[in-house]
Homo-oligomer: A and B are copies of this chain.
Amino acid sequence: VAHLVLRKLERFATLSEEDRRTLLAHVRHIQHFNARDDLAKDGDHPRYVNFILEGWACRYKLLEDGRRQIISFFVPGDLCDPIVFLLREMSHGLGSITPVTVARVSREDMLALMAKSPALEKAFWLDMLISAEIQREWTVALGRKTARERMAHLFCELAMRLRAIGLAEGQEFEMPATQTDLADALGLSSVHVSRTLQELRGAGLIELKGKRMTLNNEKALREVAMFDPSYLHLSNIVT
């Protein structure tokens, strides 16, 4: 059930059979959430690390007047901060986009995992580092890119991340976020997301019907986005 988590962590470190068993033994406490539910709320004391096993989720913050910013998307295999329990309280919410299955791993279990397996510890460090890289790339997109560039970039990123865990076939993948979700992630209004999607469709770069995304011309999409996948560190990390 947690094989996508393993798949992700194995990009970061060579795991022995025992490492894998150890991890799987600690992935219990499975929970299910409906779509558009909260896995954790702003202000909560973080007692677990959430491993996303199935479905899409996101990190978000709300401003007083209702403005929402989605800070990151989580897809299967992702962890919500390997060591978040070191902090006293969460300063953001975790919400589901689709129905989601998570494993909640306790502080004690995480510490035990890292103590037992240096490979897992390294994998968790790398997960943190690469999440930070993604966050930086979002910072650049929000600060300096136009709507079209930002959106193209997001789709390129999602395609790469989903491929890395085997959830994209060729140029196609499930993209369950609504236009309102995309707006809150891209710092746009949902109206403008609709128009920008039309532009990308019109230019023959993407197709998006229902929740099914196809990158019809990924090369051109990357050019629009100024997308350079090196920040995702997808190749040759394992040493």
Contacts and interface: CB of A to CB of B under 8 A. Distances in A.
Interface stretch (A140-148, A195-203, A206-214): A140-148
Given A139-B142, A140-B71, A186-B143, A87 B132 contact: no
Contact of A63 (B88, B129, B226): B226
A84 interface: yes
Contacts of A185: 143
A138 B89 CA distance: 19
A168 interface: no
Interface stretch (A155-163, A172-180, A228-236): A228-236
A219 to B, nearest CB: 16
B233 A92 contact: no
A187 B143 contact: yes
Nearest to A124: B125
A16 interface: no
A64 interface: yes
A40 interface: no
A126 B86 contact: yes
A6 interface: no
B139 A71 contact: yes
A68 B133 contact: no
Given A187-B144, A226-B64, A237-B88, A128 B132 contact: yes
Contact of A136 (B59, B186, B226): B59
A29 interface: no
Contacts of A236: 88
A131 B129 contact: no
A138 B228 CA distance: 22
Interface of A: 59, 61, 63-64, 67-69, 71-72, 81, 83-84, 86-89, 91-92, 122, 125-126, 128-129, 131-133, 135-140, 142-145, 184-187, 226, 228, 230-231, 233, 236-237
Which 8 A/B pairs are nearest by Cβ-Cβ distance? A143-B187, A142-B142, A91-B231, A69-B143, A69-B140, A69-B144, A67-B144, A135-B135
22 contacts: A63-B140, A63-B226, A64-B226, A68-B144, A71-B136, A71-B139, A83-B129, A86-B129, A91-B230, A91-B231, A128-B128, A128-B132, A131-B132, A132-B132, A135-B135, A135-B139, A138-B139, A139-B142, A142-B142, A142-B143, A143-B186, A143-B187
